[in-house]
Structure 1
Amino acid sequence: MRRLRKHLWQYLIALSSLISSPWVVLGDFNATLSHADRQGCSSDSPEHSFQDMVSICGLHDLDYCAPHYTWTCGSRSVHLDRGFCNSRWFEHFLNSLLHHLIRMKSDHRPILLSTNNQVYSLRPHNFKYFAGWSLHRDFKKFVEENWLNSLSISEAIHHFSLVASKWNSDVFGSLGRNKKFLMARIRDVQRCLDRKRTANMVKLEAKLLRELDILLDQEEILWKQKSTG
């Protein structure tokens, strides 16, 4: 594995000599730059050939936010996933920032590069039945209590749309808001786990990740529904 990495470092060095435009490279380098990049490992030594490659290519280690370690296995935590860029990249994307996202089905954190671009949606909101509601544990009971067979079809639909809109706001909530809140809790838990692993915190992380799985399923249904609507 170390020999394969050296081939990669040589390739990147050769590639960098051909690039004069903005350049960024991201991923799991499976190597560390400093002693601080490892915790709980038998060997805390950085890989000098990796350091040499970064120096020879003239690359800068991108700033990041969220926990330092990007890979965790048992009591071991290592900063393996990172991003590098050349000086020309900084000239064009001065506010570049790497986000260490939450771990889910992998022992690695996904990494996301932000260049400070923002996209806003001004689409008006109209009531629509959201198929993802069916994943909520209380939705079946809500339908049974609020679908009025005594009314005509048009009246029943009108009544249900009103109470469903209120239920969506008060109970189901905004997917975006719920996702942001849940991911913030998971980040806090995983920060604690990076410092010290306890059985209770591991169980809490597993519980929150299951909840996030359900929420992401709901989000996927939403986007599929929008794409066909």
Structure 2
Amino acid sequence: MQMNVIANKLSFENCLAVNGNGRGGGIAMLWKSDIGVQINSYSQHHIDAETQMPNGNRMRVTGVYGHPEISQKKHTWMLLRRLAVLSSSPWLCCGDFNEILHLDEKRGGNDRNVNLINDFREGLRDCGLKDVGYRGCAFTWNNGRYGKGFVEERLDRFVCSKAWSDRFVDCAASNLDTWTSDNCPVLMAVQERREGMNQRGRHSSRIHYEDMWSLYDVCKEIIKEEWGLY
């Protein structure tokens, strides 16, 4: 009922909400009527859906809430592996994974167990998913403490399949500020790539190369640096 009220305030006509356990807030997916959505499966830790855009193109969106307990984290990665084989649609997966991918995604407190990080990496690798990157604050969660006890981590992110990054412009997610939660909202603006558009959303131009340039030592470094733009 609470999510339906929020959906109405945000002008979303459709909402699927799954209650959480105990004090947990649960998980929800909201969408507008001009987008066709088919819910494939859901639980207290995920909502998996196939969506059809107004232009008819399809993509898959999965919202995830990772197990926070260390002993249960493996079940999150097992869930992703099971979902990965169920569809070949371009896949965007997002949410609070409750784990970091790199040691520098945590500041303060004790060092993170490297084995837990590696389990997360292997789970994404097995599913063919990669982190899309971010803009804004480097961390999306903090423990709300002060001084030496303050800890912050990047637990919330978007990851995508190659089929998704091939179809949509590679646009990093934006980590937004918040004053009402220990987790920051993360925003992704999705734009389909049009013909002639490169991965950054710009129209590609023709490249000309003269073999005489290879005589200069700096040529290789320039090519290596600039090639990623196309």
Q: TM-score scaled by structure 2?
A: 0.48
Structure of higher RCO (CA pairs closer than 8 Å, 6+ residues apart)? 1
Q: TM-score scaled by structure 1?
A: 0.48
Higher strand share: 2
Higher helix share: 1
